[in-house]
Amino acid sequence: MSAPRLEIDLKKIHHNARTLVERLAVHGISVTGITKATLGSPEVAKTLLEAGVSTLGDSRIKNIERMRNAGVSAPITLIRSPMLSQIEQVVIRADISFNTELDVINALSSAAQKMGRTHGIVLMVELGDLREGIMPEDVESIVRKTLELPHIEFKGIGTNLACRSGVSPDAKNMGELSALADSVDKTFNLTMDIISGGNSGNLEWALNGDMSGAGIGRINNLRLGESILLALDPLNREPIDGLHTDAITLIAEVIESKVKPSQPWGDIAQTAFGTPSPITDQGDISQVMLALGEQDTDPEGLTPPPDIEILGASSDHLILNTGDNRPSIGDEIELQLNYSALVRAMTSPFVDRVIT
């Protein structure tokens, strides 16, 4: 098989998704399965649906097109604000989009009208992480204008934390979203379908609650990507209990395997990627090189097998200390990925993707 390659174990992804769907269902929370880190893989999308996610979500219209072209007909939400230059594709391919700008919502309405379709809108609210979102005090006026637009269905509100600034979901900000849901419903005499509380960073809050006893309030949906694919809690990158952390692994091939000194020699200047980090002298070591580098993944986000240490990386090479075991040329090494390494590998044309 060719290397480097991502091996994607659909059974493990199914187990992870199913487990989280069941744990959240107890709290009345549905799961939107987020496919963006898999480039909108139709196989992963189908697996998530079989595991019980209620809808799919992706940040890129190209990924949504890929899933549609492969016959995925479940509801899909575009979870990034649509670009004005892609409005038509959004209306054709996505059922719902997340929005924060009236100019965009107006354009979606016109496009939907022209095509004789209806497009759903979830308004994203800024609650402190300072990525996307309408400031809370401006939400009602935008809801009012959205409700007036033809061919637009106002579906609800959502928020996204723990991404740009690492703000954690808690009783306070989630309570604010719930209170906003109550006041919007009351002002406009409706009952919103969707109150989407956040991403994988919300799991701890949703499942374990907090000491304040505030409960989950009106939140009835979470959007999960990383927690399903990598089984990690993005707040602390700890594995989530009962889930497979190796549903997706990266396999790379050994191209050099030698005993070398651990210390470089000669005058030390900058490396290909900046300032070299200091190296502790361990005498001679088993220095093993993989055909894998910055052009394939984020080397900083890789975890090697036990007893193997990652020493460094360049565009095309990953350098390991393999301790007492010195692999042969052509051997393969399996690496675990964090989110950054996963998205880089998934989008690199040099890395194959193999479904297992």
The residue from 16, 81, 227, 336 that contacts ligand PLP (CB under 6 A) is: 227
Interface pick for ligand PLP out of 97, 199, 220, 322 (rule CB under 6 A):
199
The pair of structure tokens assigned to 55 is 């809808």
Q: Does 200 bind ligand PLP (CB under 6 A)?
A: yes
- Nearest Cα residue to 31 out of 220, 188, 264: 220
- Select 13 or 34, whichever has its Cβ closest to ligand PLP: 34
Cα angle, residue 34 at apex, residues 87 and 50 outer, rounded to 5°: 115
Which is nearest to 31 in space by CA: 170, 163, 202, 152?
202
Nearer to ligand PLP, 108 or 231 (CB): 231
Q: Does 24 bind ligand PLP (CB under 6 A)?
A: no
Give the interface segment with ligand PLP, choosing from 82-90, 133-141, 226-234, 254-262 (CB under 6 A): 226-234
Instruction: Compute the least distance from the CB of residue 353 to ligand PLP, in Å.
Output: 18
- Does 338 contact ligand PLP by CB under 6 A? no
Active-site hit among 11, 12, 36, 258:
36
- Given 160, 287, 322, 336, the residue binding ligand PLP (CB under 6 A): 160
Q: Which residues pair with 216 in a beta bridge?
A: none
Q: Which is nearer to ligand PLP, 232 or 251 (CB)?
A: 232
Binding of residue 161 to ligand PLP (CB under 6 A): no
294 interacts with ligand PLP by CB under 6 A: no
225 binds ligand PLP (CB under 6 A): yes
Please tell me what DSSP assigns to residue 234. Answer: T
* Binding flag, residue 79, ligand PLP (CB under 6 A): yes
**How near is the Cβ of 221 to ligand PLP at its closest, in Å?**
10
Peptide bond connecting 75 to the previous residue in cis, omega within 30 degrees of 0: no
Which of 142, 224, 288, 319 binds ligand PLP (CB under 6 A)? It is 224
On whether the CB atoms of residues 80 and 59 are closer than 8 A, the answer is: yes
Rounded to the nearest whole angstrom, what is the least distance from the CB of residue 235 to ligand PLP in the complex?
A: 10
**Cα–Cα nearest to 79, from 198, 251, 254:** 198
Q: Does 341 help bind ligand PLP (rule: CB under 6 A)?
A: no
Q: How many residues bind ligand PLP (CB under 6 A)?
A: 14
Under rule CB under 6 A, residue 59 binds ligand PLP: yes
Closest CA to 67 of 31, 41, 101: 41
In the annotation, is 186 catalytic? no
248/231 Cα distance (integer angstroms): 10
In the chain, the amino acid numbered 350 is F
Residue 163 C-beta: closest distance to ligand PLP, Å? 7
CA dist list (Å): 293 to 221, 252, 302: 38, 10, 11
**Rule CB under 6 A: is residue 34 a binding residue for ligand PLP?**
yes
CB 197 within 8 A of CB 219: yes
Q: Which residue has tokens 């799991």?
A: 203
User: Nearest Cα to 228, choosing from 54, 19, 78?
Assistant: 19
Q: Which residue do the tokens 């992706």 mark?
A: 58
Q: Which residues of this chain interact with ligand PLP, rule CB under 6 A?
A: 34, 36, 59, 79, 160, 199-201, 223-227, 234
Residues labelled as active-site residues:
36
